[in-house]
Structure 1
Amino acid sequence: MKASIGRKFFMSLTGLFLIVFLFVHLTLNLFLTFDDSGVLFNEAAHFMATNPIIKIMEPVLALGFVIHIIWSGWITLENMKARPKGYQAGDNLLKWYAPAKNMFILGGMVLIFLIIHLFNFYVKMRFTGDPLLNQPGPGLEDGVHNSYALVANLFIHYPVYDIIYIIGGILVGLHISHGFWSAFQTIGLNNSNWMKRLKFLAHLVAFIIGAGFAYIPLYFLIKF
């Protein structure tokens, strides 16, 4: 029992840490829509790629994702063993729009979206490279990749990815809508007054992050 509580506590901390990262990542990505020349986004992406603090945080972030996924899977398996018959029909019926009952499923779908995202952008920007990264553009100095060209090309010429990323943003928002307040509840802020505030804040945070990530591909899909 104590081990289970410890895993939930640690999973909650990693979840809150990842939400902070999502805010930072969303802020960076919104530069894509502020300046169609790509100058702002390229400068921000270059800063994130070369800043020594960010380089140190990247493996910590990766570890946070891994721990969060492993712990959530472990806890889900424990819950399944504790309730082998599953949920009954009616009020307890599993529904896609009930994040509290489907955190593991939502998390799995978010993981698939994350893998697609990493393959499309992060791997190319950091490891394999791509011809678009060397495409000439305004304001580009030596050593600065045209990250905007890589991202814009995908969203402009491949509408299927726009749809995938819009759905991905919605899934992330749904996952956070429950995970945010649940994390604070696990930490100990679980009295009725705090719960009302945290649930409101959870829905606000979930909407901002979910709508923000969904807005970016929608912007390219509509404008271009």
Structure 2
Amino acid sequence: MSNFAKTFSSSLGKKLVMALTGIFLCTFLIVHLVGNLQLFKDDAGQAFNAYAYFMTHFGPIKIVSYLLYASIIIHAVYALMLTAGNKKARPVAYAVQAGGQNSPWTSRNMGILGTILLVFIVVHMGDFWWKYHNAELPYAKYEISLDNPKDIQVSELPYDANRLVHSEIVDVQAGKQIVISKDLYKIVNNAFQTWWYVLLYVIAMAALSFHLIHGFKSAFQTIGWNNSKLLPIIRFLGVWIFGVLIPLAFAAMPLYFFFK
């Protein structure tokens, strides 16, 4: 076995892989949140549908998306490997520190939190990503006034296999911009009318919060970025940005659709 392979098959190497994939997934969360905030726009989903098209058809983004899928799988597999290895080595759970039961709850339950998130990701991608790529979704036709972009008339078009996923035409004579998009917004809206799905989403975001509060700081400790100057910044980002703000923003989306 080469030195490279030995390094990444060791406990420290596995933790390093976990740290790097975890940090990459954190950066994706920011991008995903910024895009999903389009759901709050009062435009019948026009901005969100345009975002969905961009994320699935822009070449560089598509390449990064494959890296994202790989990172999710690798992160989950290495977490299982570390958990199994630690159980063999000692009769306590992964990431339990010297204080035993005095260690943080998040630290002692990273496996449970990660499992909840993995189940949620599978369900989430099946309901949105898979349907957007494979289901015969209706299309939304937006007629936007060139004089007043907030004046939007929307109508539904049936699925047509020959129709472009997204198209934009400016009709100067009519004073309108006509945008036709595969209507993922409608799928999101319909999904978030179901109480149990909204509850699942909120529970998953709570799990994400606790997972990131511990995982974000641990990832930077693993790669050695835990000196006295960086540690307060990392703790602030891990707790207040990734542990509180981002999960709350994601959880607000299904609640907004359910109660509006």
Return the TM-score normalized by structure 2. Answer: 0.76
**2:140 maps to which residue?**
136
Sequence identity (%): 37
Structure with the bigger percentage of strand: 2
Which aligned segments of 4 or more residues in structure 1 are displaced greater than 6 angstroms? none
Pick 1 or 2: higher relative contact order, CA cutoff 8 A, min separation 6: 1
- Structure 2 counterpart of 1:53, one-letter code: P
Consecutive unaligned residues of structure 2, counting only runs of 5 or more, are 1-5, 144-153, 155-162, 166-180
Unpaired runs of 5+ in structure 1?
Answer: none
- Counterpart check, 1:99 vs 2:136: no
Is the 8 Å Cα contact of residues 83 and 93 (structure 2) preserved in structure 1? no
Aligned match of 1:44 in 46, 51, 62?
A: 51
* Cα gap change, 1:153 to 1:137, in 2 (>3 Å): farther
Counterpart Cα distance in 2 of 1:137 and 1:93: 57
Aligned residue for 1:138, secondary structure, equals strand
The DSSP-based 3-state class of the residue aligned with 2:142 is: coil
**Over alpha carbons, which structure has the higher Rg?**
2
* Aligned counterpart in structure 2 of residue 153 of structure 1, from 190, 194, 198: 190
| Partner SS, residue 136 of structure 1 | strand
Q: TM-score, normalised by structure 1?
A: 0.88
> How large is the Cα RMSD of the aligned pairs?
2.4
1:201 corresponds in structure 2 to: 237
How far off is 1:92 after superposition?
Answer: 3.6
Tell me which amino acid in the other structure corresponds to 1:146.
D
Structure with greater helix share of residues: 1
Structure 1 segment 1-224 matched on structure 2, within 5 A = 3-84=10-91, 92-93=100-101, 98-127=105-134, 129-130=135-136, 133-139=137-143, 142-143=164-165, 144-156=181-193, 158-204=194-240, 205-223=242-260
Q: Could you tell me how far apart the structure 1 residues matched to 2:188 and 2:102 are?
A: 36
- C-alpha contact (below 8 Å) 1:29/1:41 kept by paired residues: yes
Could you report, residue by residue, the CA deviation over 1:49-100 in whole angstroms, capped at 9, with x for unpaired residues?
1111111112111111111111111111121122126699xx74499x8211
Shift of 1:135: 4.0
1:73 maps to a residue whose letter is: L
SS at match of 1:78: helix
Say if 2:114 and 2:211, in contact at 8 Å, map to a contact too.
Answer: yes
User: Which amino acid counterpart does residue 153 of structure 1 have in structure 2?
Assistant: N
What are the superposed Cα offsets for residues 98-144 of structure 1, whole Å, 9 maximum, x if unpaired? 211111111011001111101111111112x14xx314342589422
CA distance in 2, matches of 1:41, 1:57: 20
